[in-house]
Chain A
Amino acid sequence: MRKILGLVVLVGLVGLAQVEITFWSAPNPSQEVFWRRMAEAYMTEHPEVKIQVRPIPETPTSEAGILAAIAGGVAPTASENVFIGFGDELVRSKVLVAWNTFPGWQELVKARHMEETLKAWLFSDGNYYIIPMYVNAMLVAWRIDILRELGYDQPPRTYSEVLALGERLKAVYPDKFLWLRSELEVPTWWQRWFDFFVFYYAASGGRPLITGNTLTADDKAAIEVLRFFKTLRDKKLLITETLATGFEAGKTLMTVLGPWTFPWWRENYPELVYGETFVLSPPPVPDWYPAAEAIRTFADAKGVVMYAQAKPEQQQAMWDFVRWVLSDPEHDLVWVQVTGMLPARDDVATNPLFMSYVEAKEPALLAYAAQIPYAVPPFAHHQYVEIQELMGLECIYPVLVGELTPEKGWAAWKAAVEATLK
């Protein structure tokens, strides 16, 4: 009886001493699996910590879900899936904790080889509020099987080469298109990440659209991108209506692609094999782009933040957990295996731990790894939604349908953004 009582008291004491923390993973099953697995492993080593992992409630978006939780006073201790633009909004609202204020920050940066990667995540107050989890460089996938039929053994590099390929395609397959991008005519702000920004960063050498609160865009590159889109559409090489299936069915030849597509393809389109039916390349560039220069692209990059609502002991416990997860490269390997995305590390393309896995299991990821040094994350400005939506409304749609020339469309966007930034 005494033993049982003692056990009950002991369990009660452990429960009292236990720190309970909550981590919200991205609303994506594979990322939830990763964080659950990490939390379970950590809790077996650290019974004094209880970690609850849940996906971010998408009500209706993950950003809105996080915002509602903070407003309701029920924010988690930490969450992932935060990109730098939304992070800027959270920092301005003073709801985040800077990771670099915890002891051991520098050791983590070194252990995860993040010195270079982190430069893009520094906020204007000199703090790091987001630890990047992944940097998905956006690449262009090409149906190499059809390209070979058309007499090509590699994808085109410049706009002229793309248009020449398009002419050849239409001559042989009049019903096929080069590119399906139905979202190009939709003003939804985040869709610009997967069309305009991909081509703009390639054409401009990665020049930021906005620095601080000032427009710093490369006008020549932006206008050239718009003219390229317009020419593709006029020549019926770009289709902006919806197709039931495009690239996967071989009805289109190219698509802007992130690595998260591969698990889905494996399940639904096993006939799509890297090197046989498709290859990857950086985005096409204007003809005047230097041949020897590396081509940049947009990077879909998100990371982990900690919320100021959590109690100090919860923040400390979360920091210990996150540091434990990210300090061990084996955990990053699990990340690659589970999510199919590459971790945000400087050594991802050189570390044999990742490369041996990628070469053996997912060779298409090699192209993404090689592109990471040339991948530009979203710009950090709290008005990112309006700025990017204006791009669709004032510029891309009017240019595509012929209401404005590329020059006038770009000027209209700049004028609208300048009025917004005031």
Chain B
Amino acid sequence: MRLQGEARGWLLASPYIVSAILFFLFPLGWSLSLILFDWNLISPVRTYVGLGNFREAFTSARVFQAFFNTYKFMAIIVPAVLVLSLVLALIVHHLPRLKQFYAVGFFLPYLASGVAVSLVVRGILSYDSAFNELLRSLFGTSPRWLRDPFWATLVISAMIVWKLSGYYALIFLAGLQGIPRELYEAAALDGAGSFTQFRKITLPLLYPAFYTVLVLAIGLCFGIFTEPYVLTGGGPRFATHTWQLEIYYQAFERFRAGYGATVAVLNALATFVSILIIRRVVEAWGARRGFR
């Protein structure tokens, strides 16, 4: 018997549908069922608080700091990751050989464990590391990398940029390989130099890749957890506190599942709205310039 038409489609899609129900829809429904209660998941008493969890979250300095820090990280990470991944893609694209080898090499940081990388970074930035010894011998001092709000933010941003650039470079590389060579040849015949070709041909035609990377990078800024968890605990003074750290703290350390779920819902809303606004802005910008 051969499955035909719709049945075959449903069968092929079923692994995704089942996993989405189990690991996305069910937890989402469960979270939504918690947001109106003050409950630690085990107590026989589940106190109904109505919108009390939302009121608390909207007036919480911790939640505000997580909200603010996300945009602070975004302001550093998104431009840096866009530029670096594009540069990496251009380098790999113009390599005469071993393109795949280098592309995979740049992708490896994305696969590395966040905890392991954080521990390595902590070692590199420890007070008695060779790097800091060098800085002290040159400048007489070394920054308090993980204990100063400015440097801690920068270190965590740099780690995320390093981790993601190789992965996003693959998206740009795919875009670069899709640009017809004839366009560059025609432009060269018309007297366009390398920079003009890059500005007038490469960048506009990379718009879809740029758009994809932008949306992915913005979404990621709302999910930062491992690096600040291991390196700073969200400090100093909440400088590296994030949505995910707040959810973890409320749900798994203070055992406030209802409030943790509320913060998670707010995080989802903030992510959705932010991506929506930035998409609209970028789409309008692209449309004005005729990018598709």
A interface residue numbers (CB < 8 A to B): 60-61, 63-64, 67-68, 70-71, 89-90, 92-95, 182, 185-189, 239-245, 251, 385-386, 392-393, 397-398, 401
Residues in A with CB closer than 8 Å to B237 are: 393, 397-398
Given contact pairs A185-B236, A240-B147, A393-B237, A94 touches B129 in the complex (Cβ within 8 A): no
* A167 → B minimal CB distance (Å): 21
Task: Contact check, B122 vs A242: say whether CB atoms are below 8 A apart.
Answer: yes
Contact across chains for B42 and A241 when beta carbons are under 8 A apart: no
Are A94 and B233 interface neighbours, CB within 8 A?
no
Contact present for B41 and A241 (CB under 8 Å): no
- A390 smallest CB distance to B (angstroms): 11
Secondary structure of the B contact surface, majority rule: loop
Spell out B's residues near A (CB within 8 Å): 40-44, 122-123, 125-129, 144-147, 232-238, 248, 252-255
Contacts of B252 in A (CB 8 A): 60-61, 63-64, 67
Inter-subunit contact A386/B254 (CB<8 Å): yes
Determine whether the beta carbon of A61 is less than 8 Å from that of B41: no
Give the top 7 A-B pairs by smallest Cβ distance, nearest first. A71-B41, A93-B43, A242-B126, A241-B127, A64-B252, A186-B233, A70-B42
> Which A residues are CB-close (under 8 A) to B145?
241
How far is B122's CA from A64's CA once the two chains are assembled, in angstroms?
26
Q: Hey, which chain B residues are within 8 Å of A185, CB to CB?
A: 147, 235-236
Contacts of A93 in B (CB 8 A): 40, 42-44
Contacts of A240 on B, CB cut-off 8 Å? 147
Q: When the two chains form their complex, are residues B126 and A243 in contact, meaning their CB atoms are under 8 A apart? A: yes
List the B side residues contacting A92 at CB < 8 Å.
43
CA A244 – CA B120 in complex, angstroms? 11
Asked whether, in the complex, the Cβ of B126 is within 8 Å of the Cβ of A89, the reply is no
> 13 A–B contact pairs at CB < 8 A?
A61-B253, A63-B252, A64-B252, A71-B42, A92-B43, A93-B40, A188-B233, A189-B253, A242-B125, A244-B129, A245-B128, A393-B237, A397-B236
**Complex contacts, B122 vs chain A, CB 8 Å:** 242
Q: Tell me the minimal C-beta distance from B130 to chain A in angstroms.
A: 10
Report how far A60 CA is from B245 CA in the complex, Å: 13
Q: How far is the CB of A7 from chain B (nearest CB, A)?
A: 44
Residues of chain B lying within 8 A (CB to CB) of residue A61 = 252-253
- B235: which of A63, A239, A397 is its contact (CB, 8 Å)? A397
Q: Chain B nearest CB: distance from A422 CB in Å? A: 14
Whether A67 contacts B232 by the Cβ 8 Å rule is: no
Q: Within 8 Å CB of B254, what residues of A?
A: 385-386
* Closest-CB distance, B43 to chain A (whole angstroms): 4
Distance to closest chain B CB from A64 (angstroms): 4
A241 touches which of B147, B233, B235 (Cβ 8 Å): B147
Q: Which residues in B have their C-beta under 8 angstroms from that of A63?
A: 252-253, 255
B259 to chain A, nearest CB (A): 12
The answer on a CB contact under 8 Å between B43 and A94 is yes
Task: Please indicate the chain A residues that have their CB under 8 angstroms from the CB of B253 in the complex.
Answer: 61, 63-64, 189, 385
> In whole angstroms, what is the CA distance A226 to B126 when docked?
25
Whether A95 lies near B42 (C-beta < 8 A) is: yes
* Closest chain A CB from B220 CB (angstroms): 21
Given known pairs A385-B253, A397-B236, the reply for A67 and B40 (CB within 8 Å) is yes
Task: Flag if B255 contacts A89 (CB, 8 Å).
Answer: yes
Q: Distance in Å from the Cβ of A263 to the closest Cβ of chain B?
A: 22
Q: Which of B122, B125, B232, B233 has the most CB of A within 10 A?
A: B233
Name the CB-closest residue of A to B125.
Answer: A242
A188 to B128, CA, bound (A): 24
Are A241 and B126 neighbours in the complex by a CB distance under 8 Å? yes
B261 to chain A, nearest CB (A): 13
B40 with A244: CB separation less than 8 A? no
Q: Are A94 and B44 in contact (CB under 8 A)?
A: yes
Residues on the B chain within 8 Å of A386, using CB: 254
Q: Once bound together, how far apart are the Cα atoms of A176 and B30, in whole Å?
A: 54
The answer to whether A243 and B235 have CB atoms under 8 Å apart is no
Q: Whole-angstrom distance from the CB of A418 to the nearest CB of chain B?
A: 17
Excluding A63-B252, A63-B255, 12 further A-B contacts by CB distance (< 8 Å) are A64-B252, A67-B40, A70-B41, A93-B40, A94-B44, A186-B232, A244-B128, A245-B128, A386-B254, A392-B235, A393-B235, A393-B237
Let me know if B234 and A187 touch, CB within 8 A: yes
Would B40 and A243 count as touching, CB distance under 8 A? no
CA distance A71 to B252 in the complex (A): 13
Contacts of A401 on B, CB cut-off 8 Å? 236
Residue numbers in A under 8 Å from B44 (CB-CB): 93-94
CB-CB < 8 A to B43: which residues of A? 92-94
Instruction: Give chain B residues whose Cβ lies under 8 Å from the Cβ of A71.
Output: 41-42
In the complex, what distance in Å separates the CA atom of A363 from the CA atom of B76? 54
Q: Which residues of chain B are within 8 angstroms of A90 by Cβ–Cβ distance?
A: 42
Q: How far is the CB of B147 from chain A (nearest CB, A)?
A: 5
Write the nearest CB–CB distance from B8 to chain A, whole angstroms: 37
Instruction: Chain B residues near A392: list those with CB within 8 A.
Output: 235
Residues of B within 8 A of A188 (CB): 233
Contact A243 B128 (CB under 8 A): yes
Q: Bound state CA distance, A70 and B40, in angstroms?
A: 11
Q: How far is the CB of A246 from chain B (nearest CB, A)?
A: 9
- Assess the A244–B41 pair: CB atoms within 8 A: no
Whether B129 and A67, one on each chain, are in contact in the complex, defined by CB atoms closer than 8 angstroms, is: no
- Contact A187–B233 (Cβ < 8 Å): yes
Contact A67 B127 (CB under 8 A): no
Residues of A within 8 A of B146 (CB): 241-242
Specify which chain B residues have a CB less than 8 angstroms from the CB of A68 in the assembled complex: 41
Which residue of chain A has the shortest Cβ distance to B148 in the bound complex?
Answer: A401
Give complex CA distance A90, B128 in Å: 43
A49-B16 Cα distance, complex, nearest whole Å: 44
Q: Which residues of B contact A187 (CB under 8 A)?
A: 233-235
What's the nearest-Cβ distance from chain A to residue B100, in Å? 37
Question: Which interface residue of A64, A185, A243 has the most chain B CB atoms within 10 A?
Answer: A185
A239 touches which of B42, B127, B236 (Cβ 8 Å): B127
> Is A89 touching B40 in the complex (CB atoms < 8 A)?
yes
Residue in A63, A93, A392 whose Cβ sees the most chain B Cβ within 10 Å: A93
Partner of A67, one of B42, B126, B236, B248: B42
B144 to chain A, nearest CB (A): 6
